[in-house]
Structure 1
Amino acid sequence: MRELDVAFLRRWLMWAAVRLAGVRKSGLSTLWRPGFGQLAALVAVTLPGFLFVLIPGCVVLTALLVFYLAESLAFLLLKIGGRRTSTGEPVKKINPPSFRWTPL
């Protein structure tokens, strides 16, 4: 990847992802076979990589939860104070909020 001009950090994150996939498939014992150097490199590369993904993920999840709460409040206000027909039915159908979370 160096010869293909892949940036340093991206190159090492890709190496760590492939290495972790190998560990996942072959078991944890494969971490100690190559020696302590590769284990230290793996930890040194994956921890910042996880933080790089985890921190924005938490920000997005928090924003989604705040938006869901705002939607829920609007739904309740519309449900309570919305216009109704003479039979007591709402004039328009009010869709309830939903928070769909589909983990990988």
Structure 2
Amino acid sequence: MNNKTTSTQISLTTNELVMLQMIACNCYTPANYSEPESFDECGSPWSNCLDDCELKDGMVMPDSKSFGGIVSSLVKKGLVECSGMNDPEDCTALTEEGFKVWQDRVQKVDFS
């Protein structure tokens, strides 16, 4: 029996899905600022880029006071890595599993 959790089985709140998109904004390929098609194509880790992130239509940015808790939750679920004390001002990046969840779930959800 396979007990491995798949990306579709990880329970995520709307705010967590939005935060994955916000973090993924900095994973865009540096050459043409397009969404990467694979984890290996991701650019630099996210750092202080919340003002520049592109949310999908219908997404609502969470209150900035909740960013630390959302990032911390995503770290615990193994979807993002964060330097420092899970402060959203620190450098944050998607893990390979986080990239899969972003690609499989965030990219395919209609937030409107």
What TM-score does the superposition give when structure 1 sets the normalisation length?
Answer: 0.26
**Which has the larger helix fraction?**
1
What TM-score does the superposition give when structure 2 sets the normalisation length?
Answer: 0.25
**Which has the larger strand fraction?**
2
